[in-house]
Amino acid sequence: QVQLVESGGGSVQAGGSLRLSCYASSYMYKRSCLGWFRQAPGKEREGVASIYTGDGTTLYADSVTARFSISQDNAKNTVYLQIDRVKSEDTAMYYCAADFGPCAGELGTAHFGYWGQGTQVTVSS
């Protein structure tokens, strides 16, 4: 059974850091592509980063700067999204997504068949 559970969202001051977590059930986690997306109010959902748990290959959106970093912890079936020096434009609902097999060469929502419920990130100035 596929299960994706995000955590780590909340309110953070501009300039601070945040780490989001996505736990995936064992059935889903091994040799799967896990990604992070975000959706701000009134905007389309956009891909941020993905990682293939089979070998750790990562992909970042062109719009994402070095402030974002995706990583994995195989012992915990968890993928993380570290956001440093947060800005107001990072305010959004952040979603974890997954699908079986290696990641596609782009961060399109169509490449992910499974989604978590999301975790809200709000940046205050």
pLDDT in tens, the chain (125 residues): 889 999 999 999 999 999 999 999 988 899 899 999 999 999 999 999 999 999 999 999 988 878 999 999 999 999 999 999 999 999 999 999 999 999 998 899 999 999 999 999 999 98
pLDDT of 1 = 83
CA distance readout (Å), 112 to 14, 16, 52, 70, 95: 30, 30, 12, 17, 11
CA distance readout (Å), 83 to 74, 94, 112: 20, 12, 22
pLDDT of 52 = 97
Structure tokens at 28: 């889903």
For CA atoms 118, 70, 41, 45, the dihedral sign is negative
